[in-house]
Amino acid sequence: MNKIVKIVLVVLGALSAILWYQLPGRDVPASEAVGSGAMNFMFIITYLLLAIAVAVSLLFTLKNLFANPKSLKKTLMVLGGFILVVIISYALASGTDVSIEEMAGRGISTSETTIRRIGTGLNMFFLLVLIAVGAMLLGGIKKMTNK
């Protein structure tokens, strides 16, 4: 398996080097450079490598997660806590924070649902920041009192 990966990496590296030298020069307008075949193939290689990296890391993460029951329990508790933060954030968002008519007057079509979702995201951010700061303070206080 290791030899196959090395061979694939060497082939992708050689192909990328060839494509690098086929990229348009600086004097080519950006509108034409974007349509370059070499650039498109480089993007395809990038997306392919990114997809492989995400799939492999997800696979090994799930494998390690299900191998240890304590880890699975802790992960499920954290996921439950995050869902609780989402529910609290949604309950705190009113959806009437911004005037829909004023937004329409500026050329931005929106609805109360969209405003509520944005409010939910902001509330989640603030709650998660408070939780993170609280966890850091609690850890620091525990360290100071244990010495």
Which pair of structure tokens corresponds to residue 8? Answer: 């694939």
Q: Where are the domains of the chain?
A: 1-67, 69-147
Conformational region of residue 99, where left means phi above 0, alpha means psi within -120 to 50, and beta covers everything else: beta
DSSP state of 27: T
pTM, full prediction: 0.60
- Give pLDDT tens digits for 32-62: 777 777 778 888 888 988 998 999 999 998 8
Task: State the angle between helix axes of 69-92 and 37-67 in degrees (0 to 180), rounded to the nearest 10.
Answer: 110
Which pair of structure tokens corresponds to residue 122? Answer: 């902001």
First to last CA, the chain: 50
